[in-house]
A and B are shown apart, each in its own frame.
Chain A
């Protein structure tokens, strides 16, 4: 199975800050990389698909980039409602794996 290494595991930032999370795959996954936001007690919510495509209805302050093994997720200007845990997820040949998550907190 392809392993996903996400970093950092936690992050504290101020409102208005630019926030970046990275995800590294153990082998080439092309652009088959999605990003999710999960708030406490809720199901994950799809934000970015195919590495850089914004899901319908998701604010444009969220973005993603990368291909192959290295991927980046960015919040351009952190808002209070962005406090959550963020996960990357890859798809390869009938296998889906998730990163371990990045817990984002307000400083």
Chain B
């Protein structure tokens, strides 16, 4: 059974960097058959996919256009986890952030089958 456990601060000041970690059990961040995603949810923006990292002989990252200039997702193979960094945050980045797994299915990563518990991050001074 795959489990994703999120950690990180719930309060970030404007202009600073939001950092969250997702620890994986029951699977591997280096798996050739899964991608590891960050998704956020807010009343104003709904559910919004932010980006993913995955390993297919080498590491790849894909990011949503809306955050591409500010986001980094990194795998940590030594701890079997992956992280989210979002720079230069504003109050509009206030949301519940989720990590989620996408299994490789018929050649692509189309669905999210396991999710973390969610972390409410508030951007405020």
Contacts and interface: CB of A to CB of B under 8 A. Distances in A.
Contacts, number: 47
A42 B117 CA distance: 7
Given A87-B47, A100-B46, A43 B118 contact: yes
A49 B111 contact: yes
A95 to B, nearest CB: 8
Given A43-B98, A94-B62, A34 B46 contact: no
A50 B110 contact: yes
A44 B110 contact: no
A65 interface: no
Interface residues of A, number: 22
Contacts of A96: 49
B62 A32 contact: no
Contacts of B111: 34, 46, 49-50, 89, 91
A97 B118 contact: no
Interface of A: 1, 32, 34, 36, 42-46, 49-50, 55, 87, 89, 91, 94-98, 100-101
Given A49-B111, A55-B113, A91-B110, 16 more contacts: A34-B111, A34-B112, A43-B115, A44-B98, A44-B115, A46-B111, A49-B105, A49-B110, A50-B111, A89-B112, A96-B49, A98-B47, A98-B48, A98-B49, A100-B46, A101-B47
7 contacts: A36-B112, A43-B100, A43-B115, A44-B112, A89-B47, A89-B111, A100-B46
Interface of B: 46-49, 62, 64-65, 98, 100, 105, 108-113, 115-118
